[in-house]
Amino acid sequence: MMPARSRPVAWFAAAICAACGGAKQEPPPVSPPPQPSNGPPAARKQLQAPASGSLYHGVFPAGTDQPDSDISPANLAVYEQTVGRRVAWVYLDNDWFRSRAFPAVTAGWIHAHGAVPFVRLMLRSQRRPLVTDPVFTLDRILAGEFDGDLSAWADTAKAYGDPLIVEYGTEINGDWNPWSAPYNGGLDIGPAKFQQAYRHIVQLMRSRGAANITWALHYYGQNFPGDDPRNVPKAYYPGDDVVDWVGISAYGSEKPYDHRCPTLRQLTDDMLPQLKAATATKPLFLFELGITDHNPGCPSGPWVQAALSDLLGGRWPDLRGFAWWNEHWSTDANPADDSQMLVQENHAVGDAFHAALTGPQAGEIVDAPLLK
Protein backbone atom coordinates (compact mmCIF):
# COMPACT_ATOMS: atom_id res chain seq x y z
CA MET A 1 0.00 0.00 0.00
CA MET A 2 1.06 3.57 -0.61
CA PRO A 3 2.81 5.45 2.22
CA ALA A 4 -0.23 7.23 3.66
CA ARG A 5 -0.91 4.06 5.62
CA SER A 6 2.10 4.56 7.84
CA ARG A 7 0.94 7.59 9.84
CA PRO A 8 -0.84 7.73 13.22
CA VAL A 9 -4.60 7.22 13.46
CA ALA A 10 -7.26 7.66 16.15
CA TRP A 11 -8.89 4.84 18.07
CA PHE A 12 -12.54 4.09 17.32
CA ALA A 13 -13.36 1.60 20.07
CA ALA A 14 -16.93 0.96 19.00
CA ALA A 15 -16.00 -0.50 15.64
CA ILE A 16 -15.31 -4.02 16.77
CA CYS A 17 -18.23 -4.23 19.19
CA ALA A 18 -20.68 -3.00 16.58
CA ALA A 19 -19.41 -5.55 14.08
CA CYS A 20 -19.67 -8.42 16.56
CA GLY A 21 -23.45 -8.02 16.58
CA GLY A 22 -23.83 -8.71 12.89
CA ALA A 23 -26.23 -11.30 11.63
CA LYS A 24 -23.85 -13.14 9.33
CA GLN A 25 -24.10 -16.91 9.34
CA GLU A 26 -21.39 -18.91 11.02
CA PRO A 27 -18.31 -19.80 8.96
CA PRO A 28 -18.47 -23.21 7.28
CA PRO A 29 -16.57 -25.99 9.06
CA VAL A 30 -12.88 -26.24 8.32
CA SER A 31 -10.13 -28.57 9.38
CA PRO A 32 -9.05 -28.18 13.03
CA PRO A 33 -6.10 -25.98 13.94
CA PRO A 34 -2.72 -27.71 13.73
CA GLN A 35 -1.12 -28.72 16.98
CA PRO A 36 2.25 -27.24 17.98
CA SER A 37 5.25 -29.13 16.65
CA ASN A 38 7.15 -30.91 19.38
CA GLY A 39 9.29 -33.24 17.36
CA PRO A 40 12.79 -32.66 16.00
CA PRO A 41 13.10 -30.07 13.21
CA ALA A 42 13.56 -32.72 10.54
CA ALA A 43 10.14 -34.16 11.40
CA ARG A 44 8.25 -30.86 11.24
CA LYS A 45 5.98 -30.16 8.34
CA GLN A 46 6.60 -27.65 5.56
CA LEU A 47 4.09 -25.16 4.14
CA GLN A 48 2.87 -25.87 0.63
CA ALA A 49 1.26 -23.58 -1.94
CA PRO A 50 -2.20 -24.66 -3.16
CA ALA A 51 -2.55 -26.35 -6.51
CA SER A 52 -3.71 -24.40 -9.54
CA GLY A 53 -7.39 -23.58 -9.18
CA SER A 54 -7.21 -23.19 -5.40
CA LEU A 55 -6.51 -20.06 -3.36
CA TYR A 56 -5.27 -19.42 0.14
CA HIS A 57 -7.29 -16.77 1.95
CA GLY A 58 -5.43 -14.47 4.34
CA VAL A 59 -5.95 -11.19 6.18
CA PHE A 60 -4.25 -8.34 7.98
CA PRO A 61 -6.66 -8.11 10.95
CA ALA A 62 -5.96 -4.62 12.22
CA GLY A 63 -8.26 -2.00 13.63
CA THR A 64 -7.98 1.72 14.19
CA ASP A 65 -5.31 2.09 16.87
CA GLN A 66 -1.73 2.27 15.60
CA PRO A 67 -1.46 1.43 11.91
CA ASP A 68 0.03 -1.96 11.12
CA SER A 69 0.60 -2.87 14.77
CA ASP A 70 -2.75 -3.53 16.42
CA ILE A 71 -3.65 -6.92 15.01
CA SER A 72 -5.40 -9.08 17.57
CA PRO A 73 -7.43 -12.28 17.99
CA ALA A 74 -10.56 -10.14 18.43
CA ASN A 75 -10.02 -8.31 15.14
CA LEU A 76 -9.33 -11.60 13.40
CA ALA A 77 -12.52 -13.13 14.80
CA VAL A 78 -14.62 -10.17 13.62
CA TYR A 79 -13.17 -10.41 10.12
CA GLU A 80 -13.81 -14.15 9.88
CA GLN A 81 -17.36 -13.77 11.22
CA THR A 82 -18.11 -11.06 8.66
CA VAL A 83 -16.80 -12.89 5.60
CA GLY A 84 -17.97 -16.33 6.71
CA ARG A 85 -14.63 -18.13 6.35
CA ARG A 86 -11.46 -18.83 8.27
CA VAL A 87 -8.07 -17.73 6.97
CA ALA A 88 -4.92 -19.67 6.17
CA TRP A 89 -2.46 -16.89 6.98
CA VAL A 90 -2.42 -13.77 9.15
CA TYR A 91 -0.17 -10.77 8.55
CA LEU A 92 1.86 -9.04 11.21
CA ASP A 93 4.47 -6.30 11.04
CA ASN A 94 7.85 -6.74 12.68
CA ASP A 95 9.01 -3.10 12.79
CA TRP A 96 12.59 -2.92 13.98
CA PHE A 97 12.16 0.54 15.47
CA ARG A 98 9.93 -1.22 18.02
CA SER A 99 11.84 -4.46 18.43
CA ARG A 100 14.44 -6.44 16.53
CA ALA A 101 13.28 -9.66 18.15
CA PHE A 102 11.24 -12.40 16.50
CA PRO A 103 7.54 -11.73 17.34
CA ALA A 104 7.03 -14.99 19.18
CA VAL A 105 3.92 -14.03 21.17
CA THR A 106 1.95 -12.85 18.13
CA ALA A 107 3.12 -15.79 16.05
CA GLY A 108 2.00 -18.08 18.84
CA TRP A 109 -1.62 -16.94 18.96
CA ILE A 110 -1.84 -16.95 15.15
CA HIS A 111 -0.64 -20.55 15.09
CA ALA A 112 -3.04 -21.47 17.89
CA HIS A 113 -5.85 -20.09 15.73
CA GLY A 114 -4.89 -22.52 12.97
CA ALA A 115 -3.22 -20.05 10.58
CA VAL A 116 0.36 -19.39 9.49
CA PRO A 117 2.01 -16.15 10.64
CA PHE A 118 3.00 -13.99 7.65
CA VAL A 119 5.72 -11.69 9.00
CA ARG A 120 6.58 -8.46 7.23
CA LEU A 121 10.22 -8.06 8.25
CA MET A 122 10.51 -4.26 8.36
CA LEU A 123 14.12 -3.16 8.83
CA ARG A 124 13.46 0.51 9.41
CA SER A 125 14.06 2.94 12.27
CA GLN A 126 10.96 5.08 11.70
CA ARG A 127 7.65 5.13 9.83
CA ARG A 128 8.21 8.31 7.85
CA PRO A 129 8.02 7.46 4.12
CA LEU A 130 9.90 8.96 1.20
CA VAL A 131 13.17 9.40 3.14
CA THR A 132 16.46 7.59 3.51
CA ASP A 133 16.47 5.58 6.71
CA PRO A 134 19.25 6.85 9.00
CA VAL A 135 20.04 3.33 10.20
CA PHE A 136 18.91 0.44 8.00
CA THR A 137 20.40 1.18 4.59
CA LEU A 138 21.05 -1.63 2.15
CA ASP A 139 24.78 -0.87 2.35
CA ARG A 140 24.79 -1.42 6.12
CA ILE A 141 22.81 -4.65 5.77
CA LEU A 142 25.33 -5.89 3.20
CA ALA A 143 28.22 -4.85 5.46
CA GLY A 144 26.87 -7.25 8.08
CA GLU A 145 26.12 -4.59 10.68
CA PHE A 146 22.84 -6.29 11.63
CA ASP A 147 23.95 -9.89 11.31
CA GLY A 148 23.82 -10.39 15.07
CA ASP A 149 20.19 -9.26 15.22
CA LEU A 150 19.26 -11.27 12.14
CA SER A 151 20.95 -14.36 13.55
CA ALA A 152 19.09 -14.04 16.85
CA TRP A 153 15.83 -13.57 14.91
CA ALA A 154 16.54 -16.70 12.88
CA ASP A 155 17.42 -18.73 15.98
CA THR A 156 14.10 -17.85 17.63
CA ALA A 157 12.20 -18.54 14.41
CA LYS A 158 13.89 -21.94 14.22
CA ALA A 159 12.99 -22.66 17.85
CA TYR A 160 9.39 -21.65 17.12
CA GLY A 161 9.56 -24.48 14.63
CA ASP A 162 6.22 -24.28 12.86
CA PRO A 163 5.75 -22.85 9.35
CA LEU A 164 6.25 -19.13 8.80
CA ILE A 165 5.97 -16.87 5.78
CA VAL A 166 8.42 -13.96 5.86
CA GLU A 167 8.84 -11.09 3.45
CA TYR A 168 11.57 -8.48 3.28
CA GLY A 169 11.41 -5.46 0.96
CA THR A 170 7.67 -4.80 0.94
CA GLU A 171 6.54 -3.08 -2.29
CA ILE A 172 10.13 -2.73 -3.46
CA ASN A 173 9.10 -1.31 -6.87
CA GLY A 174 7.47 1.65 -5.15
CA ASP A 175 9.35 4.78 -4.15
CA TRP A 176 8.21 5.20 -0.53
CA ASN A 177 9.94 2.56 1.60
CA PRO A 178 13.53 2.92 2.89
CA TRP A 179 14.72 -0.24 1.11
CA SER A 180 13.60 1.16 -2.26
CA ALA A 181 16.09 2.24 -4.91
CA PRO A 182 15.75 6.05 -4.53
CA TYR A 183 17.19 5.83 -0.99
CA ASN A 184 19.96 3.36 -1.82
CA GLY A 185 21.88 4.90 -4.70
CA GLY A 186 19.07 5.39 -7.23
CA LEU A 187 17.72 3.21 -9.99
CA ASP A 188 21.13 2.61 -11.55
CA ILE A 189 22.46 0.68 -8.53
CA GLY A 190 19.60 0.37 -6.01
CA PRO A 191 17.89 -2.70 -7.54
CA ALA A 192 21.13 -4.72 -7.56
CA LYS A 193 21.81 -3.69 -3.96
CA PHE A 194 18.35 -4.88 -2.98
CA GLN A 195 18.95 -8.24 -4.65
CA GLN A 196 22.15 -8.64 -2.66
CA ALA A 197 20.56 -7.54 0.63
CA TYR A 198 17.62 -9.92 0.19
CA ARG A 199 20.03 -12.77 -0.57
CA HIS A 200 22.15 -11.85 2.43
CA ILE A 201 19.18 -11.98 4.83
CA VAL A 202 17.78 -15.26 3.49
CA GLN A 203 21.13 -17.03 3.30
CA LEU A 204 22.08 -15.93 6.80
CA MET A 205 18.80 -17.17 8.29
CA ARG A 206 19.02 -20.45 6.40
CA SER A 207 22.57 -20.92 7.64
CA ARG A 208 21.16 -20.71 11.18
CA GLY A 209 18.82 -23.59 10.38
CA ALA A 210 15.56 -21.63 10.08
CA ALA A 211 14.21 -23.98 7.41
CA ASN A 212 10.60 -23.45 8.49
CA ILE A 213 10.47 -20.06 6.72
CA THR A 214 8.78 -19.63 3.33
CA TRP A 215 10.42 -16.54 1.82
CA ALA A 216 8.14 -14.10 0.00
CA LEU A 217 8.98 -11.21 -2.33
CA HIS A 218 6.34 -8.50 -2.42
CA TYR A 219 5.86 -5.94 -5.20
CA TYR A 220 3.36 -3.13 -5.52
CA GLY A 221 0.63 -3.57 -8.14
CA GLN A 222 2.00 -0.67 -10.22
CA ASN A 223 5.59 0.41 -10.73
CA PHE A 224 6.50 3.83 -9.30
CA PRO A 225 8.03 5.37 -11.37
CA GLY A 226 6.08 3.46 -13.94
CA ASP A 227 7.85 4.48 -17.13
CA ASP A 228 11.37 3.36 -16.20
CA PRO A 229 12.57 -0.12 -17.26
CA ARG A 230 14.99 -0.11 -14.31
CA ASN A 231 12.01 -0.22 -11.94
CA VAL A 232 10.21 -3.41 -12.95
CA PRO A 233 9.93 -6.64 -10.91
CA LYS A 234 12.67 -8.42 -12.83
CA ALA A 235 15.18 -5.70 -11.91
CA TYR A 236 14.77 -6.49 -8.18
CA TYR A 237 14.42 -10.26 -8.33
CA PRO A 238 17.16 -11.89 -6.23
CA GLY A 239 16.87 -15.41 -7.62
CA ASP A 240 14.73 -18.53 -7.44
CA ASP A 241 17.13 -20.06 -4.92
CA VAL A 242 16.21 -17.52 -2.22
CA VAL A 243 12.56 -16.73 -3.09
CA ASP A 244 9.69 -19.16 -2.51
CA TRP A 245 6.58 -17.05 -3.21
CA VAL A 246 6.06 -13.88 -5.24
CA GLY A 247 3.14 -11.48 -5.02
CA ILE A 248 1.76 -7.97 -5.31
CA SER A 249 -0.36 -5.42 -3.51
CA ALA A 250 -3.51 -4.61 -5.47
CA TYR A 251 -5.62 -1.62 -4.40
CA GLY A 252 -8.44 0.39 -5.86
CA SER A 253 -8.70 3.87 -4.40
CA GLU A 254 -6.85 4.19 -1.09
CA LYS A 255 -8.32 7.53 0.05
CA PRO A 256 -11.83 9.02 -0.30
CA TYR A 257 -10.37 11.83 -2.42
CA ASP A 258 -8.10 9.52 -4.44
CA HIS A 259 -8.60 9.96 -8.20
CA ARG A 260 -7.08 6.54 -8.89
CA CYS A 261 -9.55 3.70 -9.31
CA PRO A 262 -7.80 0.79 -11.03
CA THR A 263 -9.75 -2.45 -11.02
CA LEU A 264 -8.18 -5.65 -9.77
CA ARG A 265 -8.45 -6.96 -13.32
CA GLN A 266 -6.43 -4.03 -14.68
CA LEU A 267 -3.74 -4.33 -12.02
CA THR A 268 -3.39 -8.10 -12.17
CA ASP A 269 -3.55 -8.42 -15.94
CA ASP A 270 -0.77 -5.85 -16.20
CA MET A 271 1.47 -7.15 -13.42
CA LEU A 272 1.31 -10.94 -13.82
CA PRO A 273 3.36 -10.94 -17.05
CA GLN A 274 5.96 -8.78 -15.27
CA LEU A 275 6.14 -11.25 -12.39
CA LYS A 276 6.53 -14.13 -14.83
CA ALA A 277 9.38 -12.26 -16.48
CA ALA A 278 11.10 -12.30 -13.09
CA THR A 279 10.39 -15.96 -12.30
CA ALA A 280 8.88 -18.72 -14.38
CA THR A 281 8.57 -21.23 -11.54
CA LYS A 282 7.42 -19.63 -8.29
CA PRO A 283 3.76 -19.50 -7.15
CA LEU A 284 2.14 -16.07 -7.44
CA PHE A 285 -0.15 -14.31 -4.96
CA LEU A 286 -2.17 -11.19 -4.22
CA PHE A 287 -0.41 -10.43 -0.94
CA GLU A 288 -2.53 -7.34 -0.26
CA LEU A 289 -5.98 -6.50 -1.56
CA GLY A 290 -8.09 -3.51 -0.60
CA ILE A 291 -10.15 -0.45 -1.42
CA THR A 292 -11.37 2.37 0.78
CA ASP A 293 -14.99 3.17 1.47
CA HIS A 294 -16.57 6.61 0.82
CA ASN A 295 -14.87 7.41 -2.50
CA PRO A 296 -17.72 8.52 -4.79
CA GLY A 297 -15.62 7.89 -7.88
CA CYS A 298 -14.68 4.34 -6.88
CA PRO A 299 -17.53 2.49 -5.10
CA SER A 300 -16.03 -0.21 -2.93
CA GLY A 301 -18.83 -2.79 -3.00
CA PRO A 302 -18.92 -3.26 -6.79
CA TRP A 303 -15.10 -3.16 -6.89
CA VAL A 304 -14.83 -6.04 -4.42
CA GLN A 305 -17.63 -7.99 -6.07
CA ALA A 306 -15.88 -7.79 -9.45
CA ALA A 307 -12.50 -8.59 -7.91
CA LEU A 308 -13.73 -11.73 -6.16
CA SER A 309 -15.66 -12.82 -9.24
CA ASP A 310 -12.45 -12.75 -11.27
CA LEU A 311 -10.42 -14.37 -8.50
CA LEU A 312 -12.79 -17.26 -7.87
CA GLY A 313 -13.85 -17.52 -11.50
CA GLY A 314 -10.43 -18.75 -12.61
CA ARG A 315 -9.29 -15.72 -14.59
CA TRP A 316 -5.77 -16.07 -13.13
CA PRO A 317 -4.94 -19.77 -12.68
CA ASP A 318 -1.36 -18.85 -11.74
CA LEU A 319 -2.52 -17.16 -8.54
CA ARG A 320 -2.41 -19.26 -5.38
CA GLY A 321 -3.89 -16.91 -2.79
CA PHE A 322 -5.05 -13.47 -1.70
CA ALA A 323 -5.33 -11.45 1.50
CA TRP A 324 -7.53 -8.52 2.47
CA TRP A 325 -6.02 -5.49 4.23
CA ASN A 326 -8.58 -4.99 7.01
CA GLU A 327 -7.72 -1.63 8.54
CA HIS A 328 -8.97 1.93 9.17
CA TRP A 329 -6.37 4.70 9.31
CA SER A 330 -6.10 8.48 9.10
CA THR A 331 -3.54 10.83 7.59
CA ASP A 332 -5.04 14.19 8.60
CA ALA A 333 -7.42 15.85 11.03
CA ASN A 334 -10.54 15.39 8.91
CA PRO A 335 -12.26 12.04 9.65
CA ALA A 336 -14.01 12.24 6.30
CA ASP A 337 -10.62 11.70 4.68
CA ASP A 338 -9.86 8.50 6.60
CA SER A 339 -9.08 5.33 4.71
CA GLN A 340 -11.69 2.73 5.69
CA MET A 341 -11.13 -0.88 4.66
CA LEU A 342 -12.71 -2.70 7.61
CA VAL A 343 -15.15 -5.19 6.10
CA GLN A 344 -17.26 -5.15 9.26
CA GLU A 345 -17.79 -1.39 8.87
CA ASN A 346 -18.69 -1.47 5.18
CA HIS A 347 -21.79 -3.54 4.58
CA ALA A 348 -21.43 -3.55 0.79
CA VAL A 349 -17.89 -4.96 1.05
CA GLY A 350 -18.75 -7.37 3.85
CA ASP A 351 -21.76 -8.67 1.93
CA ALA A 352 -19.71 -9.07 -1.26
CA PHE A 353 -17.10 -11.09 0.62
CA HIS A 354 -19.64 -13.23 2.40
CA ALA A 355 -21.56 -13.98 -0.80
CA ALA A 356 -18.39 -14.92 -2.70
CA LEU A 357 -16.64 -16.91 0.03
CA THR A 358 -19.72 -18.97 0.93
CA GLY A 359 -21.29 -19.15 -2.54
CA PRO A 360 -21.06 -21.55 -5.50
CA GLN A 361 -17.38 -20.82 -6.13
CA ALA A 362 -16.36 -21.10 -2.48
CA GLY A 363 -14.70 -24.44 -3.13
CA GLU A 364 -11.77 -22.53 -4.59
CA ILE A 365 -10.84 -21.23 -1.11
CA VAL A 366 -8.30 -22.99 1.10
CA ASP A 367 -9.10 -22.14 4.73
CA ALA A 368 -6.20 -23.86 6.46
CA PRO A 369 -2.48 -24.20 5.73
CA LEU A 370 -1.47 -27.11 3.54
CA LEU A 371 1.40 -28.92 5.24
CA LYS A 372 3.56 -31.78 4.08
Residue among 60, 82, 49, 71 at smallest CA distance from 249: 60
Could you give the count of Cα atoms lying within 13 Å of 61 in the half-sphere of its Cβ? 28
Residue 36 located in a structural domain: no
Residues of the chain with pLDDT under 70: 1-44, 64-69, 331
pLDDT at 116: 98
Residue 116: strand pairing partners: 89
Cα 88-92-97 angle, rounded to 5 deg: 165
Total tally of structural domains belonging to the chain: 1
Residue 360 located in a structural domain: yes
pLDDT at 2: 62
List, in order, residues 6 or more apart from 347 with CB less than 8 Å away. Answer: none
pLDDT at 328: 87
Domain coverage including residue 138: 52-371
Residue 25 located in a structural domain: no
Buried/exposed code over 110-125 (b: 16+ C-beta within 10 A; e: otherwise): bbebbbbbbbbbbbbe
pLDDT at 329: 82
Q: pLDDT of 49-79, one tens digit each?
A: 999 999 999 999 997 655 555 799 999 999 9
Residue 39 located in a structural domain: no
pLDDT at 247: 98
Query: Which CATH number does the domain housing residue 173 bear?
Result: 3.20.20.80
The amino acid at residue 345 is E
- The mean pLDDT value of the chain amounts to 88
**What one-character DSSP code corresponds to residue 208?**
T
Q: pLDDT of 121-156, one tens digit each?
A: 999 999 888 999 999 999 999 999 999 999 999 999
Residue 230 located in a structural domain: yes
